[in-house]
Amino acid sequence: MNKLMELYEKRNKAVADARAFLDNKRNESDVLSEEDNAIYTKMENNIMSLTKEIERESRLTAIDAEMSKPTSSPILSSPAKLQTNENPKTGVATAEYKDSMLNALRSNFRRINNILQEGVDADGGYLVPSEYDTRLIEGLTEENIIRKLATTIKTGAERKINIAASTPAAAWIDEGGALTFGDAKFEQINLDAHKLHVAVKVTEELLYDNVFNLESYILNKFAKALANAEEDAFLNGDGVGKPLGIFAATGGGEIGVTAASATTITADEIINLIYTLKRPYRKSATFIINDQTLAILRKLKDGNGAYIWQPSYQVGEPDSLLGYPVYTSAYVPTVAAGKPVIAFGDFSYYNIGDRGPRSFAELKELFAGNGMVGFVAKERVDGKLVLPETVQILKMKVS
């Protein structure tokens, strides 16, 4: 028996003895005699002493128990989950958010978990999970040649990009002569945010069929549609409600060469186009053309009768023209009088501003009568060529 239990038993016995003594004496007389009062007071003091001793022993027992605890906790989880330097994911990056989004899609947004409220956008839709957004960006990059070549910037508001419009020139002076000062001028390019959206319809049968890979279907449809719309705007946009394109008459690339014909291009004109681009930009320069224009260029020969076109023999690598990579886009204008048909330059100077993550929303009633369910994806994006001299354009002759 431990010390604390012994003290409790002693106090219990002392209390019982004091109660018995007091009851016995009160049966004889309602008032204790002086001698009996002294005896009872001694018994009461003994009870109080035992109570204080119990309190001290309890505190000491608690200290002993704390000191006896192990200095490290036992390993209860699997080893694979212990050693990790990754920060815990939060918000739209969590697996719970991704699963809830897929569950919401399959239920036509009838089953909405509270976690989705973390990703409600300003228009009432739901921000796509981070994993979806990354895969969507990868899809856009794969489909969109401009996103491959351009510089992409994440923006939270209007983004101002400073451009050196002129630089001071050095000058020779005599010993002790007066210094001459040149003014360095700067301009600004603003990246705003234009809204782009795409809507798709799926049948209710597909929506509720767990075998159907709804996630991949929607992501692929959205990625291709957004990529096509973006690429068209990045090349031909006029900057009104959409990005400013590379072929824009104002704010796009510079007209480096005007073809002598309205319907055909010569090898000499391609060579001239290359060397109208300043040497520092030629290090990372590429061609962007239309497939129909490509058919014309593949037939061109140099002075020795050799084709200036060099096909790529490595998978994933672009073909080349006079040693420079060639990318094709259906949105580059075809050969016609007065049209810009070839862009050559360093397209990393085309800046794309992505404003925030993309979002999903459901169209609840629009297609209900047809047994269809609609979904819409939205993004906000802008694009501008920050230095027009970095891209030279070949334009066909005006007939």
Q: Identify which of 272, 243, 266, 251 has the alpha carbon closest to the alpha carbon of residue 355.
A: 243
Q: How far apart are CA 350 and CA 20, in angstroms?
A: 101
> HEC states along 251-299?
CCCEEEEECCCCCCCCHHHHHHHHHHCCHHHHCCCEEEECHHHHHHHCC
Count of other CB atoms within 10 angstroms of residue 226: 23
CA distances from 59 to 12, 54, 64, 67, 123 (A): 20, 9, 9, 12, 61
Q: Give the helix/strand (H/E) hosting 159.
A: strand 159-164
Share of the chain above pLDDT 70, in %: 68
Query: What pTM value is reported for the model?
Result: 0.61
Identity of the amino acid at 229: A
Q: How far apart are CA 110 and CA 104, in angstroms?
A: 7
Is residue 395 within a helix (H) or strand (E), and if so which, with residue range? strand 391-395
* DSSP structural state of residue 369: G
The burial of 200, by beta-carbon neighbours within 10 Å (0-12 exposed, 13-18 middle, 19 or more buried), is given as middle
Identify the pLDDT of residue 342.
97
The dihedral sign for the CA sequence 331, 333, 334, 340: negative
226 — pLDDT class (breaks 50, 70, 90): confident
What contacts 81, CB < 8 A, 6 or more positions away? none
Centre a 10 Å sphere on the Cβ of residue 396 and count the other Cβ atoms it contains. Answer: 24
CB atoms within 10 A of CB 369: 7
The enclosing H or E element of 327 equals strand 324-328
Angle between helices 214-236 and 95-106 (to 10 degrees): 100
**Of the candidate ranges 17-26, 135-144, 326-335, the one whose mean pLDDT is the lowest:** 135-144
Strand partners, 373: 202
Structure tokens at 166: 């002129």
Averaged pLDDT for residues 45-57: 85
| CB atoms inside a 10 Å sphere around CB 272 | 16
Q: Which two tokens stand for residue 331?
A: 């949105």
Q: Mind listing the domains of the chain with CATH numbers?
A: 7-47 (no CATH), 122-168+181-395 (3.90.1690)
Overall size of the chain counted in residues: 399
Residues 6+ apart with CB under 8 A from 287: 321, 324, 325, 326, 327, 342, 343, 344
DSSP code per residue over 81-147:
GTS--PPPP-GGGSHHHHHHHHHHHHTTT-S--GGGGGGB-TTS-EEPPHHHHHHHHHHHHHH-HHH
Q: Is the pLDDT of residue 82 over 50?
A: no
pLDDT band at 119 (very low <50, low <70, confident <90, very high): very low
Model confidence at 396, pLDDT cuts 50, 70, 90, reads very high
Beta bridge partners of 154: 354
Q: How many C-beta atoms lie closer than 10 Å to residue 128's C-beta?
A: 27
pLDDT of residue 4: 74
Long-range contacts of the stretch 137-143 (C-beta < 8 A, 24+) = 139/219, 139/220, 139/222, 139/223, 139/224, 139/227, 140/223, 140/226, 140/227, 140/230, 142/223, 142/227, 143/223, 143/224, 143/227, 143/228, 143/231
Give tens-digit pLDDT for 326-357.
999 999 999 999 999 999 999 999 999 888 77
pLDDT at 25: 76
pLDDT at residue 157 tops 60: yes
Tokens of 210: 């767990």
46-62 in b/e burial notation, b at 16+ Cβ within 10 A? bbeebeeebeebeeeee
